[in-house]
Amino acid sequence: MKPVVVIPARFASSRLPGKPLLRHTGKFLVQHVYERALQATRVSGVVVATDDDRIVRAVESFGGKVMMSRADHPSGTDRVAEVAIMLGADAVINLQGDEPDFDPAGLDRLADMLNGDASVDCATLATPIREAAAYRNPNVVKVVSDDRGRALYFSRAPIPFGRDGDPDFVKDTILQHLGVYAFRTPALLQFTRTPPHPLERIEKLEQLRLLGTGVPIAVGIIAHAAVGIDTPDDYARFVRAWFAKSGAIAA
């Protein structure tokens, strides 16, 4: 089974309006994400899911596959679920449209996790936290896993909590959750039909809807986290890094 990578993309963004269509590198931001996803070898394809004609035209302009979805979805996950139905896909990977540096090997890892264990309906990724500042930062979501690599809990709080001081950041036991998921489609559809769980409402983390209703989540560990684009400063850093790496000259 090769899952389809679905990239939900919307034009509206409170901190960075029109984010998918930013083009200071000569490529749309969503195009960078799309092209990175195409480098994965264990997926059957890549498609952008959007409700905006401007994004449709942009994706079509670089030869990408795009599907129009409803405009009333409460989250990107719901948008991905609609596209999964339209595609008739057995499994999908939900990749955020603001992570142009995401490692394609992570997508392959997610596909392998679904294929390697028939009991896994949902898989996600995490990376070791190396600094106390990230451990304490509520914007960095932490995950604790059991010995089988199943998530025990996700939180914005520092978990596991070091009662005797900060934990040892060298032993790879303090993990940052990365917001990319692989779902078997039936599990994804069940997720979108399930009301938000009380834990989800408190932490504002939708994956707690799965744990709160008894759905296991497999957690794979990768070496590094990609930096998402949330603010103008984030995008400016990406543009500078892209020009430095590509050797191109900024206009």
Question: What beta strand segments (E) does 95-250 contain?
Answer: 122-128, 142-145, 151-155, 175-184, 218-221
Q: Which residue has the tokens 């997926």?
A: 43
Which token pair is 64? 């990408």
- Residue 164, sorted as left (phi over 0), alpha (psi -120 to 50) or beta, turns out to be alpha
pLDDT at residue 71, as a whole number: 81
Q: What is the pLDDT of residue 138?
A: 95
Of 39, 143, 140, 33, the C-alpha closest to 96 is 33
pLDDT computed for residue 166 by the predictor:
84
For residue 5, name the pLDDT band (cuts at 50, 70, 90): very high
| CA pair distance 176, 31, nearest whole angstrom | 26
Q: Return all residues near 172 (Cβ < 8 A) that are at least 6 apart.
A: 128, 221
Nearest to 149 by CA among 217, 225, 93, 224: 217
Note the pLDDT tens digit of each residue in 81-125.
999 999 999 999 999 999 999 999 999 999 999 999 999 999 999
Arithmetic mean of pLDDT, 69-89:
89
Q: Mean of the pLDDT values across residues 198-224? A: 95
Q: In the prediction, which pLDDT does 8 show?
A: 93
Q: What is the mean pLDDT of residues 46-70?
A: 95
- Specify whether the CB–CB gap between 78 and 51 falls below 8 A: no
- pLDDT single digits (tens) 133-181: 999 999 999 999 999 999 999 999 999 998 888 888 887 789 999 999 9
Interval 215-239: pLDDT, tens: 999 999 999 888 889 899 999 999 9
Is the Cβ–Cβ distance between 174 and 121 less than 8 Å? Answer: no
Residue 251 has pLDDT above 60, yes or no: no
Residue range 56-66: mean pLDDT, rounded: 97
The pLDDT of residue 1 is 80
For residue 137, the model assigns a pLDDT of 95
pLDDT score of 188? 95
Backbone angles phi, psi at 239, to 5 degrees: -60, -45
- pLDDT for the residue numbered 15: 77
CB 124 within 8 Å of CB 141: no
Cβ pair 70, 140 in contact under 8 A: no
